[in-house]
Amino acid sequence: MFKSITIKRSLTNIENLFVSHSKPGTKVATRPLPRFNNVFNGRNQIGSSLYSTATAQSNMSFPCIDKIESRQVELKKSLKLQEDLFTHVVNGYETFHYKKPFAMSHGGILPSFKIAYETWGELNSTKTNAILIHTGLSASSHAKSGEKNTKPGWWENFIGPGLSIDTNKYFVICTNLLGGCYGSTGPSSINELTGKRYASSFPIITINDMVRAQFLLLDNLGISKLHASVGASIGGMQSLAAAVIFPERVGKLVSISACAISHPYSVSLRFAQRQVLMTDPNFNRGNYYDSVPPHVGMKLARVISTVSYRSGPEWEMRFGRSRLSPDSDPALCPDFLVETYLDHKGEKFCLEYDANSLLYISKAADMFDVSESMTKKLSSKLNIAQRKIMAMESNSDNSVIDVCGFPNPAELKSKNNKNNETKIQIEEDLIAGVKNVMMPTLVLGVQSDILFPSEQQKEIATILRKAGNQSVTYYELDSLYGHDTFLLDLVNVGAAIKGHLEHN
């Protein structure tokens, strides 16, 4: 009906063209337009044919939408109300429970927290052979298979006896991030003060907060100094932050495909993911745990992130312009092989990770900045939160903990605005921020990485050298795999890591 009305309006406009230029008050004789009138009356064969064709074209199939609608129905029938929502994805980890209030860098307070972790190898008698592996955004503590979880880990071929991170020599620890959903406290966890899930009341978190929580775990394990802090992507941010916050406790540093300060392009990609996620009708401002989760938004967010994780040259070789069914008519659902790949990645991920965790951790990545001015600013906010905890402990009343308690913005107004700084001033600020990072450092970049371009790893190496660190090694890999090179290139990434860790 809509298309029929559109045709009528168009034809009426054509008729008006014959009289639009006549003088006011002049009677204009117009001949009837039989063909147009026949269309209006539905008697013209051409018009009927056009309408039939349009109707037929509107009946294109949408199997990808059908799948989403079916999943929506199924999710309504099988709501998961247990406390731990993602044990079907990861299990077999140990849990460290920090039972005291924990101050956050933006002023929030957690009444307590848990960190999920796994270990491989043996801690030596002097407790000096520990390596802490920091994960990316959505990774779990399961970096390597073990007795409690025999499934291959996300860095399976890098960790083990005689491998890049040799468990015959080192005691290897990997945690799920604070703010995550694979056993560590995050938005999907139960707030012990309310008995309800934190959801969007979870405090804004920083990379520094994640690292400080990890070092409380190290304290609990009796480890005063790491042999090395190792991480890639957001994990590479953490390994660098660990060296900045605890320089006396990190023996060696490895940062792969990361940055010293988040750049606009990376921020924009993560922003796009958050936007498609938050506009999913099921998101409900983060309060979806007792209903259907925002699975469509999660799927689309994963599609966007997957595009940023790999490279165009790789996909040119891997997929080219091949279609799923070359002889069929074009389809709006996945048609090209690269589209089917992205669709599969989104489908697989959409129910295996918590949407709020993605939002919080990706925002923490956006805000990452090791400059001296930012470190001081966050320390100021952290001190305010810590003073709140001291006041609460003196009153012995934990019921007054303000989980999200942000300080007065006017009180903490930044004196430095990087928009007004020159590149030289920004670099000087970053150099000052890493002035105590003097341990042997390995920085790896990848030429085809579009999420964290290699210029950002060069920046890390440069500021460390200018700060006075004379033991900085920088390698730039010519790999097709883009940002995911750290997961896939065992020969080059693995050899570089092994050489750095074992070099005296």
**Whole-number pLDDT of residue 87:** 87
- What mean pLDDT do residues 288-299 have? 96
Q: How many residues does this entry show for the chain?
A: 504
Catalytic residue at 311?
Answer: no
Among candidate residues 449, 454, 479, 489, the one labeled active-site is 449
Q: Quickly state the pLDDT bin for 139 (edges 50, 70, 90).
A: very high
Inter-residue contact 483 to 450 (CB < 8 Å): yes
Among candidate residues 184, 188, 233, 239, the one labeled active-site is 233
Among candidate residues 134, 483, 489, 500, the one labeled active-site is 483
- What mean pLDDT do residues 332-336 have? 96
Cα–Cα distance measured from residue 287 to residue 282, given in angstroms and rounded to the nearest whole number: 9
**Whole-number pLDDT of residue 420:** 78
pTM: 0.85
**Whole-number pLDDT of residue 421:** 85
| Least confident piece of the model among 21-30, 233-242, 312-321, 409-418 | 21-30
**Whole-number pLDDT of residue 396:** 60
**Whole-number pLDDT of residue 118:** 98
Question: Is residue 14 predicted with pLDDT exceeding 80?
Answer: no
Question: Is residue 92 predicted with pLDDT exceeding 50?
Answer: yes
- What mean pLDDT do residues 216-241 have? 98
C-alpha gyration radius of the chain? 29
**Whole-number pLDDT of residue 395:** 77
Catalytic residue at 448?
Answer: no
- What mean pLDDT do residues 226-235 have? 98
Catalytic residue at 354?
Answer: no
The mean predicted confidence, pLDDT, of the chain is 88
Q: Look up the CATH superfamily of 64-393+424-503.
A: Alpha/Beta hydrolase fold, catalytic domain (3.40.50.1820)
Please report, for residues 229, 324, 331, 388, 493, the alpha-carbon distance to residue 472 in angstroms, rounded to integers and kept in the order given.
Answer: 14, 47, 51, 40, 16
Tell me: the pLDDT tens digits for 155-191? 999 999 999 999 999 999 999 999 999 999 999 999 9
Question: Is residue 358 predicted with pLDDT exceeding 80?
Answer: yes
Tell me: the pLDDT tens digits for 44-72? 555 555 555 555 555 889 999 999 999 99
Cα–Cα distance measured from residue 355 to residue 180, given in angstroms and rounded to the nearest whole number: 10
Question: Is residue 390 predicted with pLDDT exceeding 50?
Answer: yes
**Whole-number pLDDT of residue 56:** 52
DSSP line for 207-268:
HHHHHHHHHHHHHHTT--SBSEEEEETHHHHHHHHHHHH-GGGBS-EEEES--SB--HHHHH
**More confident of the two residues 370 and 396:** 370
Residue 40's nearest CA partner among 82, 12, 59 is: 12
